[in-house]
Copies of this chain bind each other. A is one copy, B any other.
Amino acid sequence: MESKFGERIRTLRESQNLYLRQVAPLLEMDTAQLSKIEKGLRQLKKEQIPILAKVLKADQKELETLWLADQLMQLVKDEPTADEALKTVSKNIKNRK
């Protein structure tokens, strides 16, 4: 649980008065799956972000960032060295651009 991405897309969906039942088919899944995604129990496929962004009239880049942040969070939560590791990665990434 505790998924920023999930929380965000739920907020977006609700603010537009859409039901899971309405959105799920557009992503070719059932309501159960989408429900789990919103609660962070499952991951949305990366390729589906653009579709969702469109459906929810959201900024695609924002959703991509939140999605990626969730993936990272899963990895670092409960890791004592999380902070150091994140710094290391940030550095390496810059050198590589």
List chain A positions with a Cβ less than 8 A from chain B. Answer: 4, 61, 64-66, 68-69, 71-73, 75-77, 79-86, 88-90, 92-94, 96
The answer on a CB contact under 8 Å between B86 and A73 is no
The answer on a CB contact under 8 Å between A61 and B81 is yes
How often does this chain occur in the complex, in copies?
A: 2
Give the complex CA separation of A76 and B92 in angstroms: 11
The answer on a CB contact under 8 Å between B72 and A85 is yes
Chain B residue, CB-CB nearest to A86: B90
Give the complex CA separation of A4 and B87 in angstroms: 14
Q: How far is the CB of A41 from chain B (nearest CB, A)?
A: 18
The answer on a CB contact under 8 Å between B86 and A64 is no
